[in-house]
Amino acid sequence: MIYDILITNSIILPLDHDRPGQITQGYIALKDEKIMALGSMNDLSPGWKADKIIDAGGRLVMPGLVNSHTHAPMTLFRGLADDLELMTWLHEHIFPAEAKNVNPEMVYWCSKLAAAEMILSGTTTVADGYFLEDSVADAFIESGIRSVVAQGVIDFPAPGVPDPSQNVAAAAVFIERWLDKNSLLTPAVFCHSPYTCSPETLQRAKEMARHKNVKFFVHLAETRTEVEQLQEQHGTTPVRYLENLGILDADTVCVHCVWLDAEEIQIMARAGTHIATCPQSNMKLGSGIAPLKEILAAGISIGLGTDGSASNNRLDMFHEMDMCAKVHKVKGLDPTAIPAQTVLELATSGSAGILGLEKDIGSLVPGKEADLILVDINQPHLQPFYNSDLLVYAASGADVSTVIINGKIVMQDRNILTFDVSQTMDEVRKLAVPLMRDRKFL
């Protein structure tokens, strides 16, 4: 057999429960967008051939990281309004900035910028939720990143949907347009939150998502203020509210879930509902710390996400892993609370699972899609390399040297091959000028 790509002389971290640990001197063979074989260099057949050979030189090969929640176009608002609580941040800064600046051109270029940042830091799959998601889809497909792209639904005039009564219909049109159109992209629907979507909107959007068999995303229980608001308006808590509306099931992904009580965790576990946790965004906005240990103990499927770069402010999943592991140790004064290996799984197979992609990505297994990254561990801050815990506690996105998505080399030696990153940054800087003038940053 002639392989498309053969990676040799590498440390391989499959993150496969059936093959735990790492292969210290290994190879991995790719063909037709799939992983064909992997193992020790000693087991590599002497008659092998490959169109392209990558000598890893001791670099580590691992599954690409999976960012389970972000808002890619919001790279334009990175650093625009820092050090604020969520409601002030949203209503006094982000929503007004979006009303003036969000259009298809902005969404396209800012999503490309996000794709560049994610690819450069080892993310091969991302779940995005925003408005004008056709432009996000175009940007992601051109960049080569795998994605779940969810059209936003909200009960006031939004970019691309000036009439709120058409919000669910617009999402349905988006899904129809992209369903099964590109192997790297999966469409979905994103209802912003219970405090920006009426119960009727939430139910109609969920019914539409069920009919089209796509994922339904929603921000939920992110802040104490949200919980108090739901209690005042509906006499119940966010999770119980969605349960009463019939929203919770195995195709619903609830994002944040910081303010959950023990019964709500069990409600979500029984429903099979998934959670995407975004610890750095929650920390920066002062929203709180999700009860991750209890969520995991209940058997709820959970993934890790960065949230948007306006509230993080970066899209580096290595940094997200580090913060995720540490903040939960501090919360309970327990250094064993969330082990590094658990966090590494949340950022790979866990996130893949909540997106419905666990059969395709998240681990290095023959037959799965060839989404993988090479990490240069031959650096002072990553030596000696005893085990993969160091990836969580010491590595960063800047240590990623090569990214392969769907069997294609998207980044090699820190150079993105699919689009012009310099042009992308130039275009985003132009888009930022009006914001700089409005905020007197110039």
Residues 366-403: pLDDT tens digits? 999 999 999 999 999 999 999 999 999 999 999 999 99
**Residues 136-179 pLDDT 10s:** 999 999 999 999 999 999 999 999 999 999 999 999 999 999 99
**Residues 2-14 pLDDT 10s:** 999 999 999 999 9
Using an 8 Å Cβ cutoff, are 431 and 103 in contact? no
Q: What pLDDT score does 440 carry?
A: 63
Residue 195: which of 165, 167, 234 has the closest Cα? 234
Using an 8 Å Cβ cutoff, are 396 and 373 in contact? no
Residue reference for tokens 């936003």: 152
Q: In what order do the strands lie in the sheet with 216-220?
A: 65-70, 123-130, 146-153, 185-191, 216-220, 252-256, 274-277, 302-304
Q: What pLDDT score does 90 carry?
A: 87
- Write the CA distances from 329 to 101, 216, 323, integer angstroms: 40, 31, 10
Show the tokens assigned to 271.
């429903």
Spacing of C-alpha 360 from chain mean position: 16
Backbone angles phi, psi at 404, to 5 degrees: -120, 125
Residue 205: which of 191, 187, 219 has the closest Cα? 191
Residue 324: which of 312, 336, 308, 340 has the closest Cα? 340
Report how far residue 167's alpha carbon sits from residue 111's, in angstroms, rounded to the nearest whole number: 22
Q: Is the peptide bond before 380 cis (omega within 30 degrees of 0)?
A: no
Burial 220-250 (b: 16+ CB within 10 A, else e): bbbbeebbeebeeeeeebbbbbbbeeebbee
pTM, two decimals, is 0.97
> For the chain, what are the domain ranges?
2-63+370-415, 65-354
Question: No. of H helices and E strands in the chain?
Answer: 16, 17
Mean pLDDT of the chain, nearest integer: 96
Using an 8 Å Cβ cutoff, are 257 and 283 in contact? no
**Residues 311-325 pLDDT 10s:** 999 999 999 999 999
Helix (H) or strand (E) holding 99: helix 95-101
Residues belonging to the chain: 442
Show the tokens assigned to 421.
């990153």
Q: What pLDDT score does 442 carry?
A: 46
CA-angle at 9, arms to 8 and 10, nearest 5°: 95
- Write the CA distances from 27 to 2, 8, 23, 342, integer angstroms: 15, 4, 9, 25
Q: Is the peptide bond before 313 cis (omega within 30 degrees of 0)?
A: yes
**Residues 174-222 pLDDT 10s:** 999 999 999 999 999 999 999 999 999 999 999 999 999 999 999 999 9
- What proportion of the chain, given as a percentage, has pLDDT over 70? 99
CATH topology of domain 2-63+370-415: Urease, subunit C; domain 1 (2.30.40)
Q: What pLDDT score does 81 carry?
A: 87
CATH level 2 (architecture), domain 65-354: Alpha-Beta Barrel (3.20)
Q: Indicate whether 247 pLDDT > 90.
A: yes
- What proportion of the chain, given as a percentage, has pLDDT over 90? 91
